[in-house]
A and B are shown apart, each in its own frame.
Chain A
Amino acid sequence: MDEYLLIESQGPWGGPGADRFVADATRLRRAGHRVALFLVENGTSAAFTGADEALRELLEAGGQVWVDAFSTTHRAFAPDRLLPGARLVDMDEVAGKLLEPGVRGVWH
């Protein structure tokens, strides 16, 4: 079983790539891999405003959804509107995950 740190920076309004990236995360999770999806920059918008359905599927499959606290503050997103199951994190936690042996990072 591999472990992935997938970093989504564009979000659902940045084009169709974000949805496909999240769908890839869900496929990896359903294939038995450990997956943490980190939403950063405009990617954080997916975790608010009604929430992206693809993120719910990832959470239901057992994946983790991390949301960059700095980016959400920068964009004035209210933390109480965060998608249930998603978690605010800081960059130190992301760095720690990336440094764990065997973790593969991908940035979109």
Chain B
Amino acid sequence: MDRRLPRADVLLAIMGPPHISDMVTSAVRLAQALLERGATVHIWTCGHATGLTSAALGDSKPRNVVNWSYDYPSGAALAAELLDAFPDRLSWYSCRFCTEERGSAPHIARIKQRPPFKFTEHLDAVDSALFLGVC
């Protein structure tokens, strides 16, 4: 099996904790904007960001008590929607070590787990990389 990574224009490495700021929203907005311009994008999640695509999240967030009937999609559902919309140009990777340490497995379909020591291969596979949440 060919294990070489596909080339991509941009890597968005979400390294920081995902819920203390709007970082994930910004990352997904930027990914969508890049994809809509025809670019190829890799997303890599580390740490607790691996939980964004945990299958245990299901498709919906818990109900909002002040908007009871509205169906808020989970992070995993949003990731799946983005992957469905751009199946040939978006690849989503998740750090295997962080996934296992934080209990994020299993992920939803199409999330590829990669060992952390392979991360440099992901840097080599893209023209531009942005690290989010490390400083």
Interface residues of A (CB under 8 A from B): 7, 9-10, 17, 40-42, 70-71, 74, 90-92, 94-96, 98-99, 103-108
Q: What's the Cα separation between A17 and B129 when bound, in Å?
A: 21
**Contact digits for B29-49, partner A, Cβ 8 Å, 1 yes 0 no:** 110111011010000000000
Q: Does B125 contact A (CB under 8 A)?
A: no
Partner of A95, one of B22, B39, B129, B132: B39
Q: Which secondary structure dominates where chain A touches chain B?
A: helix
Within residues 1 to 43 of chain B, which ones have a CB less than 8 A from any CB in chain A?
Answer: 9-10, 21-23, 26, 29-30, 32-34, 36-37, 39
Q: What's the Cα separation between A105 and B135 when bound, in Å?
A: 15
Q: What's the Cα separation between A70 and B29 when bound, in Å?
A: 10
Task: Specify the chain A residue showing the minimal Cβ separation from B34.
Answer: A95
Chain A residue contacts of B129, Cβ below 8 A? 105
Q: Does B85 contact A (CB under 8 A)?
A: no
Q: Number of residues in B with C-beta < 8 Å to the partner? A: 20
Number of inter-chain CB pairs below 8 Å:
57
Flag if A41 contacts B132 (CB, 8 Å). no
Chain B residue contacts of A9, Cβ below 8 A? 21-23, 26, 132
Q: What's the Cα separation between A10 and B22 when bound, in Å?
A: 10
Flag if A91 contacts B23 (CB, 8 Å). no
Flag if B130 contacts A91 (CB, 8 Å). no
Q: Which secondary structure dominates where chain B touches chain A?
A: mixed
Interface residues of B (CB under 8 A from A): 9-10, 21-23, 26, 29-30, 32-34, 36-37, 39, 128-132, 135
Q: What's the Cα separation between A108 and B36 when bound, in Å?
A: 24
Flag if B26 contacts A103 (CB, 8 Å). no
Which one of B128, B131, B132 has the highest number of Cβ atoms from chain A below 10 Å of its Cβ?
B128
> What are the 4 tightest A-B residue pairs by CB atom distance, in nearest-first order?
A95-B33, A91-B33, A41-B22, A95-B34
Which one of A9, A42, A96, A107 has the highest number of Cβ atoms from chain B below 10 Å of its Cβ?
A107
Partner of B135, one of A42, A104, A108: A108
Partner of B130, one of A7, A41, A70, A90: A7
Q: In the assembled complex, how far is the CB of residue B93 from the closest CB belonging to chain A, in whole angstroms? A: 18
Chain A residue contacts of B33, Cβ below 8 A? 90-92, 94-95
| 23 A–B contacts from the bound complex (CB under 8 Å) | A9-B21, A9-B22, A9-B26, A9-B132, A40-B26, A42-B21, A42-B22, A70-B29, A74-B22, A91-B29, A91-B30, A91-B33, A92-B33, A92-B37, A96-B37, A98-B30, A99-B34, A99-B39, A99-B128, A104-B128, A105-B129, A107-B131, A107-B132
